[in-house]
Amino acid sequence: MQQLEANNTAKPPYQMAGLVFLVTVLLGLCYAAWAISHWLEDSQKAPINQVLVTGNRVYIDDALIENVVRKNHPESFFELNVDRLHQQIEALPWVYRASVRKRWPNSLNVHIVEEIASAKWNSDSLLNQYGQAFDAQLVNGELPDLFGPGGSEKVALQGYRDMQTLLNSASLTIDELYLSERFAWNLRLKNGVRLNLGRSEYLNRLHRFVEVYPLLKDQGKQIDYVDLRYDTGLAVGWKDAEKTKQES
């Protein structure tokens, strides 16, 4: 009877082998997890080997983008914080939008959308094509100077575009545009003529100037300013001959 009970409690050899195999697998998985974790923590084993910069760029140097990555992000490829790097790149001058993507196994793709400068703003910044101010140094290219109160950037840029379209028919170009605190418009053209358009109906008033401009040129005198703040007419100021001679 005792011999029978002993035979019943003994485990067959295949069960013991299965148990040993299971324990071996579990130990192997634990070691693999530890090894991978240790490898990921070691930046020298997973460095960022290549930074690929794409997008149309005029003012942005690829070396500047790569320097931001190398200097501010010494982490491994796996540990790199893409969101933080994205914010740092978009904070650079001339960067309007950027996207950052990891590319297996050790590269970064950085796509840049560069700002397009449409005008200078208040002598210390630039306006992009959407009327948004940004800080950057204009290396080359001639842009109009726009001046106005804070928050009027989009209004000033759209006003400039509308008025320049009208002036194109007379081959005239805006050099400076001033938008006052009360939203009165003043222009200085490339030829030195100053225009006072007031607050309302400024496009209609500018159209009136374009129509009468050929007659004003035929007067044989150089125009100093034209005040268009009238319902139907305008007032013209002429430069005196001595002043004209000094400026020429």
Final residue belonging to a domain, choices 57, 82, 114: 114
Q: How many domains does the chain have?
A: 2
One digit per residue, pLDDT tens: the chain, 248 residues? Answer: 444 444 555 556 666 777 767 777 787 788 777 766 665 555 556 778 899 999 999 999 999 999 999 888 877 777 888 999 999 999 999 999 999 999 888 899 999 999 999 999 999 999 999 999 999 988 777 899 999 999 999 999 999 999 999 999 999 999 999 999 999 999 999 999 999 999 999 999 999 999 999 999 999 899 999 999 998 889 999 998 655 544 44
Q: Are residues 84 and 122 in the same domain?
A: no
Within-domain flag for 16: no
Q: pLDDT at position 248, please?
A: 43
Q: Are residues 237 and 180 located together in one domain of the fold?
A: yes
Asked if residue 123 and residue 105 are part of one domain, the reply reads no
Q: Are residues 56 and 142 in the same domain?
A: no
Is residue 128 a contact partner of residue 138, using CB atoms and an 8 Å limit?
no
Residue 33, domain member (yes or no): no
pLDDT value, residue 72:
82
If asked whether residues 197 and 138 sit together in one domain, one would say yes
User: End-to-end distance of the chain based on CA atoms, in angstroms?
Assistant: 130
Q: Domain containing 241 — which CATH number? A: 3.40.50.11690
Letter string b/e over residues 167-195, b meaning 16 or more CB atoms within 10 A of that residue's CB: beeeebebbebbbeeebebbbbbeeebbb
Whether 126 and 157 share a structural domain? yes
**pLDDT value of position 243:** 55
Of the candidates 36, 35, 111, 45, the one whose C-alpha atom is nearest the C-alpha of residue 75 is: 45
* 224 and 185 both lie in a single domain: yes
Instruction: Give pLDDT, residue 226.
Output: 97
**51 within a domain of the structure (yes/no):** yes
Q: Is the pTM of this model over 0.85?
A: no
Q: Tell me the residue range of the domain where 60 lies.
A: 44-114
Residue 94 sits in a domain whose CATH number is: 3.10.20.310
Let me know if residue 12 belongs to a domain: no
C-alpha 80/C-alpha 78 separation (Å) is 6
pLDDT of residue 15: 67
Q: Are residues 98 and 139 in the same domain?
A: no
101 in any annotated domain: yes
Same domain, 85 and 153: no
Q: What DSSP character marks residue 110?
A: E
Domain co-membership, 121 together with 243: yes
Are residues 243 and 121 both part of a single domain?
Answer: yes
Q: How far is CA 151 from CA 121, 191, 236, in A?
A: 12, 29, 32
